[in-house]
Structure 1
C-alpha cells in the first residue's frame, strides 16, 4: 500500500533537525512520496533545498512555492520574481501555499487578496496547479478564484475544514480537496464525516500538515505531540471508514489523484524501503 502526503511543513523547526529519521519512519509506514509546503519565499527556498538534500534522485520529495496569507504583507514584486524562479525547478510542483485567512487576519485582508491574485496569475501564466489555504473566507476565495479558474490547470483547497455549502461550491469549481487529521478530531471534525462521501475519488487527497494537527485517533500518541508523515495511515483509516472504502482502495485512489495533480513519478515501494 502506497500513500502520498501532499502537505508536510518539513522546514518547521520541530521537524527539520530530525528530517532524515522522520523520512525513514514515513517510508516504513508506506508513505512513498511527499510534497513539502512553501509558505514564504524563504520557506519555499528551504523546502526545495531539503528536497535536493534528502532526495538526490528527485523521485520522492517535492515542494510548493508560495506566500501564505499570514505573510501577505511582505508580498512585492521581488516576491513574484523569486517565486517564478523557484517554480522553474523540477522538484517544485505547485504554486502556494497561498489563499485567504480571515480567521486570524495576521495580514490585512486587502494585502491577502492582492498576494493571492498575483500568485493565481503566476500559476495561470506558468500553467501550474495551486495549493490553497482558506479559513473563514470561502465566499471571498470563491469570488477571486472564479476569475482565474478557466486558466488554472488545477487547484486544491488544502486542509479542508469547512461546511457542506463551501465544499459543494469548491467542487462546482472543479477544485481538489485535501483532508488532514482534523477529520480525526472528535471535538471539531465530526461535521466532516458525512461530507467525505461527497468528494469524488479523483479529487480527494490526504495530508498530515505536519507538525500540526496530530490525529487524535492515533494510538499510541507521541509524547512530543507533533504530527509527522508516518501518521498519515491514521488519517487514511478515518477517511476510509466514512467513505465505506477499504484502506487499500482509498490509498490507491488518493495516491493516483496526487500523482496526477502534482505530476509525480510512479515509484516502486520496495525501492523506497530499501534505500
Structure 2
C-alpha cells in the first residue's frame, strides 16, 4: 500500500533534530509522498526549503499561505510575497488559510479579508486551496461559495465538524481531510459515523504531525509526538468505520491526493 500524507508540519521545532529520520520512518511505513504545510509566509518559505533540501525525488511538496491566526498581519506585501511562493514548482496549493472563530487570534473581519484575498489568488493562479476551519462553517461556506466555480479544487483539512457542515462542504464539491482525530474515543466518535458519508474521490488522509497522535496507536511513542509514519493507524480507523478494506481505502485516498495536488508518480 502507498499513502500520501496531505498535511505535515515538518518545520515544527519538535522535528528540528530528526527531520531526515522522520522522513525515513514515513517512507518505511508506506507513506510515499508528503505535503508540508505552510501556515504563514516564513513557515511557507521554510516548508519549501525543506522540500528542496531533503527530497531528491518526487516525495516532498508544500503549501503556501497565511493561517487565520496570522490574518492580522495580512497586507498587500503579503499577497505579493505569497504570489511569488505559489509560482515555485514544489508549492502545490494555497494555504493553510481559512477561518478560526474558536480561538480568534486575529479579528474576524481580518480573517475574512485574508481568506478572501487568498481565494482570489488561488483563482488567479488556478491552484487548489488547503483550508482551515474551526467553529466557522457557516461563514466559511458562504465565502467559498462565491469563489467555488472558479477554483480548481479545495480541501477542508483536519475536518472535525458536524453533519450539516460536512454536507455543506460536499455540496460545494470540496475534498475532506481526515486526521487521527477520528481515533479519539473522547471527541472523535461523531466523526466515526460521518466518515462513511464522504464519497470516494473526496476523501484524503493526513497526519497533521506533530499534532493529533492517534490515541489508538499501539505501542505509543515515548516522545508523545505524532509523525507521518503513524498515518497507517489513521487509515486503519477510517477503513474500519467506512466498512472498507485498508487496501481499497489506501488506493482511492492516495489517488485523490495525487490528483488534487497534481503530484507526479514516484518513477517520474
Normalising by structure 1, report the TM-score: 0.96
> What is the DSSP-based 3-state SS (H/G/I as helix, E as strand, rest coil) of the residue aligned with 1:260?
helix
Map 1:63-142 → 2, pairs under 5 A: 63-142=62-141
> What is the DSSP-based 3-state SS (H/G/I as helix, E as strand, rest coil) of the residue aligned with 1:14?
helix
The aligned counterpart of 2:157 is 158
- TM-superposed CA distance for 1:224, in Å, is 1.3
- TM-superposed CA distance for 1:132, in Å, is 0.1
The aligned counterpart of 1:145 is 144
The aligned counterpart of 2:171 is 172
- TM-superposed CA distance for 1:266, in Å, is 1.3
RMSD: 0.9
- TM-superposed CA distance for 1:129, in Å, is 0.2
In the alignment, structure 2 segments of 5+ residues that lack a partner are none
> What is the DSSP-based 3-state SS (H/G/I as helix, E as strand, rest coil) of the residue aligned with 2:18?
helix
The aligned counterpart of 1:203 is 202
- TM-superposed CA distance for 1:16, in Å, is 2.9
**d(CA) in 2 for partners of 1:223 and 1:151?**
46
**d(CA) in 2 for partners of 1:104 and 1:17?**
30
The aligned counterpart of 1:217 is 216
The aligned counterpart of 1:20 is 20
**d(CA) in 1 for partners of 2:117 and 2:223?**
38
**d(CA) in 2 for partners of 1:56 and 1:150?**
36
**d(CA) in 2 for partners of 1:20 and 1:182?**
26
1:17-45 Cα offsets, whole Å, 9 max, x none, are 21000000000000000000000000000
The aligned counterpart of 1:185 is 184
The aligned counterpart of 1:248 is 247
- TM-superposed CA distance for 1:255, in Å, is 0.4
1:56-96 Cα offsets, whole Å, 9 max, x none, are 33x00000000000000110111111111010011100000
The aligned counterpart of 1:11 is 11
> What is the DSSP-based 3-state SS (H/G/I as helix, E as strand, rest coil) of the residue aligned with 1:214?
coil
- TM-superposed CA distance for 1:117, in Å, is 0.4
In the alignment, structure 1 segments of 5+ residues that lack a partner are none
The aligned counterpart of 1:55 is 55
**d(CA) in 2 for partners of 1:88 and 1:9?**
21
**d(CA) in 2 for partners of 1:148 and 1:10?**
30
> What is the DSSP-based 3-state SS (H/G/I as helix, E as strand, rest coil) of the residue aligned with 1:160?
coil
**d(CA) in 2 for partners of 1:15 and 1:121?**
33
**d(CA) in 2 for partners of 1:259 and 1:17?**
29
**d(CA) in 1 for partners of 2:34 and 2:17?**
17
- TM-superposed CA distance for 1:201, in Å, is 1.1
